[in-house]
Amino acid sequence: MAEKESLFKEFTKGIVIENPVLRLVLGTCPTLATTTSVRSALGMGLAASIVLVCSNVVISALRKVIPSKVRIPAYIVVIASFVTIVQMLVKAFTPELDEQLGVFLPLIVVNCIILGRAEAFAGKNPVLASAVDGLGMGIGFTAALFLMGTVREVLGAGSFLGLSIPVLSQNPMLIFILPPGGFFVFGMLMACVNKLAESRGKPRAQLRGCDACPMAATCKLHNEAAPEQPAEEEATA
């Protein structure tokens, strides 16, 4: 029973409290780039989620075999294999989505959410927990992208999933599908999720520093090294 409860916790934490985009501020680049329409946002979210779950499972299964000194290259090889598979599938079955996502589909290889979960979770936890963690994080990522894509497409293009909305489509505020609008919506959503998390007694997400990071408890850098060295390579990627 306790086992099941903790699995459920691993699953739900990725959706709001440790939402990879809005709380851990990871994977910002594909988030801003692919949310100009709901369709491409969903496509990106799903593709990344599939890679995330698969690579989490494989990395977790191999965690005792991979020497810790070469773990990052090993993780990348695993992730890259899955990304290649997903990319081939997308190219074969939904070529228009492939066109929309462009370079961001192969770039999932270096998506810091996936590498981050491999490093922070799958490398230390059993297979089932890692799969559930990947699923939760993937849903969190997809949900954040879907929300952002919805706001940006409805206001910026006056449509939803390509269907035009009567009044809004006459004079859409173009800025929402341009990069500045993306940053604006991203900031606003982050503020909302921060508020939501604060009301549950969690610290707000910050772009710098370790103390406010929801992953601080499990983070190696934070616990072993001096607190002056924040894990910035994650935050900036």
Provide the minimum distance between the beta carbon of 149 and another protein in the complex, in angstroms, as a whole number.
Answer: 18
- The site for another protein (CB under 8 A) is made up of 171-176, 178, 180, 184
Provide the minimum distance between the beta carbon of 202 and another protein in the complex, in angstroms, as a whole number.
Answer: 23
CA–CA dist 81, 70 (Å, integer): 17
Straight-line distance from the first to the last Cα atom of the chain, in angstroms, rounded to the nearest whole number = 38
Provide the minimum distance between the beta carbon of 173 and another protein in the complex, in angstroms, as a whole number.
Answer: 4
Provide the minimum distance between the beta carbon of 36 and another protein in the complex, in angstroms, as a whole number.
Answer: 14
Nearer to another protein, 14 or 172 (CB): 172
Nearer to another protein, 7 or 168 (CB): 168
Nearer to another protein, 80 or 178 (CB): 178
Provide the minimum distance between the beta carbon of 79 and another protein in the complex, in angstroms, as a whole number.
Answer: 37
Burial of 216 (C-beta count, 10 Å sphere; 0-12/13-18/19+)? middle
Provide the Cα torsion 61, 58, 123, 52; round to 10°.
-150
Nearer to another protein, 16 or 178 (CB): 178
Phi-psi region of 90 (alpha: psi -120 to 50; beta: other; left: phi over 0): alpha
Nearer to another protein, 110 or 173 (CB): 173
Q: How far is CA 97 from CA 34, 61, 93, 112, 146, in A?
A: 11, 32, 9, 22, 15
